[in-house]
Amino acid sequence: MDWSRAKNILIVLFLILNIFLFVTILHTEFQLSFGSGYADYALRYLDSREIEIETEIPDAADKMGTLAYTDRDFDFKKLTRYVFGKEVTGINKDDSLVYSDGEEKIVMTDERLLITEKPADGQALFNDSELFLQKVYDYSGNIGYRKRDLCLELMGGTDEKKQVVLVLKYKNALLFDQTIRADISKDGVMILSFPTVEVRKMNPAREIISAYQLLVMSKMPEGTRIKGAALGYKQTEEGELYDAPVWRIELGDGKIIYYNAYTGEELR
């Protein structure tokens, strides 16, 4: 073996490796410095306009891709046994697939899976919000949704009806258009609504803007209070084939605004 040649090759490889590591370290330090510096600038700018941030601003990835969906496959034999206690045959009716047994029914449309049931413990579920929430999680699990992929969005109601809303997640990002909704009336009738699609793939990632950049770009009125900020996915235009990354900003008065995380444009 030509040891002199091998030594030269090793030296060249080590030089290339050192250059790569040096560039990586510089890039990382620049990113950290830019992120920290811009956050400080953004906070000073927002403070000068008396815009209050009453929430933790989440960290976000530098790049995110759009999401494509496909139809979710439901096991209706298992589902009918769970809802009705027995298998029931479905019938096609008005562009829907319907399973029914007395007042209870399952309706599958292009966009939602709807379940109406009057459980034996309906009164207890209505009177105990935590018990009702657990019931919704159990239902979701039996349909195929993992609890770790669900985020509690709302739990409340009135003297007539209690409601739970869960938002689905994909790789820890919220899918704002994909929600599980459950209502129960004071007479114990429960209605649940599930999305009929699931994420099929993520398309190539593109750079997104940070929440601090967004808040500076958004030109919010002076005195605005920001109560919440979250990053997720949403359809940005009607008829769009993909969900794009968006920032959801909740204002102090309860108003929700969505912004395209690629451009900072407010969604209408």
Helix (H, G, I), strand (E, B) or coil at 34: helix
CATH superfamily of the domain spanning 68-201: YycH protein, domain 2 (3.30.310.160)
pTM of the predicted model, to two decimals? 0.80
Q: Are 76 and 90 in contact (CB under 8 A)?
A: yes
Give CA angle at 233 (231, 235), nearest 5°.
140
Cα–Cα distance for residue pair 240/264, rounded to 1 Å:
18
d(CA 16, CA 20): 6
State residue 217's pLDDT score.
87
Helices 129-143 and 76-84, interaxial angle, to 10°? Answer: 150
**Distance between CA atoms of residues 97 and 244, nearest Å:** 30
Q: CA 50, CA 146: separation in Å to the nearest integer?
A: 42
pLDDT value for 4? 61
Residue 255, pLDDT score:
93
pLDDT tens series, the chain, 268 aa: 555 665 555 555 555 555 444 334 334 433 433 445 777 888 888 888 899 999 988 877 688 999 999 999 999 999 999 999 999 999 998 889 999 999 999 999 988 999 999 999 999 999 999 999 999 999 999 889 999 999 999 999 999 999 999 999 998 899 999 999 999 999 999 999 999 999 999 999 999 999 988 998 888 889 999 999 999 999 998 888 899 999 999 999 999 999 999 999 999 8
Q: Give the pLDDT confidence score for residue 33 in this predicted structure.
A: 39
- pLDDT given at position 9: 56
Q: What is the pLDDT, as a whole number, of residue 7?
A: 56
Q: How far is CA 123 from the centre of its chain?
A: 31
Q: How far, in Å, CA of 173 to CA of 113, rounded?
A: 23
Distance CA 25, CA 9 (A): 24
| Distance of alpha carbon 98 from alpha carbon 88, whole angstroms | 10
How confident is the model at residue 15, as a pLDDT? 55
Query: Domain-by-domain residue ranges, the chain?
Result: 3-66+204-260, 68-201
List the alpha helices (DSSP H) in 193-265. 211-217
CA distance to 62, 101, 159, 179, per residue, from 138 (Å)? 35, 21, 24, 16
pLDDT of residue 40: 83
